[in-house]
Structure 1
């Protein structure tokens, strides 16, 4: 009877299986240096070599699933092309038939799962104690992933053990061949092993539980069922991994169809032609090999066509992170300029969200309920992925700028376009500066000096106040220019006041010995980048929200010479006069 614990064992196995795939792919990316890539290409550079590689390695490891999962990891790491992967797929299907011969001759098969625990032990211990040796650490991670992968498969088999024991093969005796094919698919999918299914078939026909033709049909089904392992390995993966899984499925289905159509002639050749009517166990092994060879011969001429088909089925995603410019023709200048403006405002909002995530500002009560609407917040993922998307968005904005520039623009339109682009560059620079100083601020928090240790919290508080002030600009879509100008002006003055206050406090800390010269230099440089980034964002938003280019030259002077600007602020000059 299937119990809840069996289900949890099955799910735990699936989790270990997928985590093993992840570790293997991550390790291969780290290890895939130039010499390693050349080695892989050397043995899969042609279809023939790839087929032989798949055949030989599968024969040695006694697991087509292992080879196919490695292929997924290689293509995911970018060291094997789809064409080469197809060759390995074809060879692996032939190589896996060796298992049936071993079972037929010796009554058992060599199982790689038996070494999973030693591999996990070696990989895990090596991974923990090799922090100073990146290559050894990556190798250990590869071993750990490999071991977890097979340990997961073993768990999955254990989780469905009750299901397989409930299966009585006599129930389907005497029915159509299609049902035996389905039984082979189902058993292999459940046990994650075509070899286990074939072993059951060999046991059944040796005791005359089923006839030879029925056993042959179940072997055909097992060949299709083995694709489930590869499909699971490709779930959630990049497109090329899905393409490999699709090719594997197509090849095995085509082979299965050919085998069913040729079932009677093949059975006659084995039972009558070779006289193996009494050698049914060896006959099943021979049948398994023969129909896979037939599938190989039929499929090789179709490789190019199949590759084109899977390319259409799983097109590489077009990473477009823009919201407004992608559907606006750059030739229509009025619409293009409006879309360009909105896109850079979108860039600011995403940069704002990036900074909130980077500095963990969502934990600060004032910002817990003030994030932009879901429509504006399109980016997710890790800090590194988020920043990469910001860079890609900035690149797409620049690409659109180049296409607008190629169109005929009035002089004022051209000036406005250039001014908007400077705003986009400033926003990107500000995000980069604030990202770059974050690691240094984290180091400050570990310092013995209380002044230095409290500095990160000060910067975080200043950033929260800055973002809250700018969020007010987007809460009311109909804000008039006077209100926008007033908000920007007051925020600018506050940024300058905080900058002067921080410099004064740092000077006092140096005088009383709470801050040494070297740390003071690092701290003041971080403050300069922080303040300059806030200024660049403010100037950019002024250009975008007020569409005012009159302050252009003074803005450039101001951003480049903060001391003179500070002097003007101290003298009573406000943001609108810069």
Structure 2
């Protein structure tokens, strides 16, 4: 009989991580203002976050499920590190319910049995509701949640034979530290502290291990359960890694303290509570005490703890600006010129981003630029480039706020406000064109040929815009004729698109809803192009 299946283990890990990814992406799309408010309301204080974690785990019967959901919320940006640590502390309390259920009823509820129904319902919903975004992403969330547990189940069953043939009596006579280590290994392998607790309870019930040895294994099980969250944070953003490290530190520190107090706690349970003859209930109580001690140790210091965690996995701060970082805002003349150059640089980076986003056949560089596009922007996904563009815009606005207006004469004051409007126009245009690209992507998926052809048309329009603006930027000046030509070109394409869409409706090439999407997309695109022109005009008009 095969005792270990490597490919099943790796497949389980892949499915597990893909499930985490789907959950996080779905939560980002579903997290409207009301949802974010709800999450924050129930996790806004230390006590409420702990109680939320405990209640959620009691219902789901899996601290791993709750902790992985916390990772997804943190990754989606709707839960702070402080609140996340509180929920994880509470989840550790909630998971003790499993031990009490086994102690009282002799069985445990397994959430893994929900995996296939979740995948089935989510998969069908994903197909049926493909045109309804909210239901689509809800279905995607169900798929992700199902895959998460399906992956965990694969990882567990790939090593099941190892745990099934393990004879716990082989540990008889060994030190308590060995039992603790076995608890860690079993939980890490089986990806479930509840499964390890059930094994411990079975061993104690059968008289195979002593109560104190079982308690040591419980400590190990609590430490071993951190492996699941560590796996969930693999390849994640820094804050997800901080949550995983926080969970690890909490359980290790609590484990050390409880292990040192083990003789005292065992005596208190067996003699103080009078459960010397009821070892099963005693283990359930010990499991609960372990996590209560952890909360007592950490809850008063959550803020200090999270402050320390925030110092971990710091990404090196990249200087996104080219000019203003070297110019004091207190020197008005120099600051004004550096401010103008930085906004021109912003245009170059926005142009670079849109060339990548729309896959335009244009050169990335402009001859006027004293430095090539930021090295930090070139690698990585297009989304990362956009995030850095927003940060660059924020740096520009921050510099504007630092310039002493009292040192500016009336003309300079007008110019600097004009430059700031130019920066806002460039950023807003870039943001809108990002949204247009998303809409065009939906057009590409349409069965309507008229819509699928729109991407190439909008690409041509955007290339034409940059062909009009690039010479002005390269020469660092433009007259009214240049800008009027650019605006006329934008407006001509706008009129042409409206006329063609109107004709397509008459010829029944476009349905009413499709026509509405087409008109709205064109309007946003046209407004964005005009904002680009006005932005450059505000910087370089003679």
TM-score for the superposition, normalised by structure 2: 0.74
Cα deviation 1:469-515 (Å, max 9, x = unaligned):
799x6xxxxxxxxxx589x99x969x87x959x89xx79x99xx999
1:142 aligns with 2:113: no
Q: Distance in 1 between matches of 2:476 and 2:259?
A: 77
| Contact 2:365-2:373 within 8 A present in 1 as well | no
Aligned CA distance change for structure 1 residues 404 and 261 (closer, same or farther; 3 Å): same
Aligned CA distance change for structure 1 residues 432 and 540 (closer, same or farther; 3 Å): farther
1:347 aligns with 2:354: no
Q: Distance in 2 between matches of 1:173 and 1:72?
A: 39
Q: Distance in 1 between matches of 2:71 and 2:528?
A: 44
3-state secondary structure, aligned to 1:17: helix
Aligned CA distance change for structure 1 residues 176 and 375 (closer, same or farther; 3 Å): farther
Q: Distance in 1 between matches of 2:146 and 2:408?
A: 63
- Aligned counterpart, 1:109: 108
Q: Distance in 2 between matches of 1:450 and 1:241?
A: 38
**In terms of Rg, which structure is larger?**
1
Q: Distance in 2 between matches of 1:179 and 1:19?
A: 35
Q: Distance in 1 between matches of 2:374 and 2:102?
A: 59
Aligned CA distance change for structure 1 residues 423 and 297 (closer, same or farther; 3 Å): closer
- Aligned counterpart, 2:389: 390
- Aligned counterpart, 1:193: 192
Q: Distance in 2 between matches of 1:538 and 1:55?
A: 56
1:177 aligns with 2:176: yes
Q: Distance in 2 between matches of 1:177 and 1:207?
A: 19
| Contact 1:17-1:149 within 8 A present in 2 as well | yes
Q: Distance in 2 between matches of 1:405 and 1:103?
A: 70
Q: Distance in 1 between matches of 2:118 and 2:162?
A: 29
CA-atom RMSD, angstroms?
5.2
Q: Distance in 2 between matches of 1:41 and 1:410?
A: 47
- Aligned counterpart, 2:359: 360
- Aligned positions of 1:245-394 closer than 5 A: 245-271=244-270, 279-313=278-312, 321-326=320-325, 328-333=327-332, 336-337=335-336, 339-361=338-360, 364=361, 367=363, 373=372, 375-376=374-375, 378=377, 386-387=385-386, 389-394=388-393
3-state secondary structure, aligned to 1:322: coil
Aligned CA distance change for structure 1 residues 175 and 381 (closer, same or farther; 3 Å): same
| Contact 1:58-1:92 within 8 A present in 2 as well | yes
Unpaired runs of 5+ residues, structure 1, are 474-483, 544-550, 553-578
Q: Distance in 2 between matches of 1:523 and 1:232?
A: 41
| Contact 2:365-2:372 within 8 A present in 1 as well | no
Structure 1 residue 318: deviation in Å? 7.8
- Aligned positions of 1:69-84 closer than 5 A: 69-77=68-76, 84=83
Structure 1 residue 113: deviation in Å? 0.4
Q: Distance in 2 between matches of 1:107 and 1:450?
A: 60
Structure 1 residue 164: deviation in Å? 4.3
Q: Distance in 2 between matches of 1:57 and 1:529?
A: 47
Cα deviation 1:420-458 (Å, max 9, x = unaligned):
657646655765686687689887997669999985565
TM-score for the superposition, normalised by structure 1: 0.70
- Aligned counterpart, 1:556: none
- Aligned counterpart, 2:405: 406
| Contact 1:157-1:192 within 8 A present in 2 as well | yes
| Contact 1:76-1:238 within 8 A present in 2 as well | yes
Q: Distance in 2 between matches of 1:275 and 1:394?
A: 67
- Aligned counterpart, 1:24: 23
| Contact 1:430-1:537 within 8 A present in 2 as well | no
How many residue pairs get aligned? The number is 523
| Contact 1:430-1:536 within 8 A present in 2 as well | no
- Aligned counterpart, 1:230: 229
Q: Distance in 2 between matches of 1:50 and 1:522?
A: 43
Unpaired runs of 5+ residues, structure 2, are none
Structure 1 residue 125: deviation in Å? 1.0
Q: Distance in 2 between matches of 1:405 and 1:64?
A: 54
Structure 1 residue 296: deviation in Å? 3.1
Cα deviation 1:169-214 (Å, max 9, x = unaligned):
5666544433332332222122211112223333444555544333
- Aligned positions of 1:512-531 closer than 5 A: none
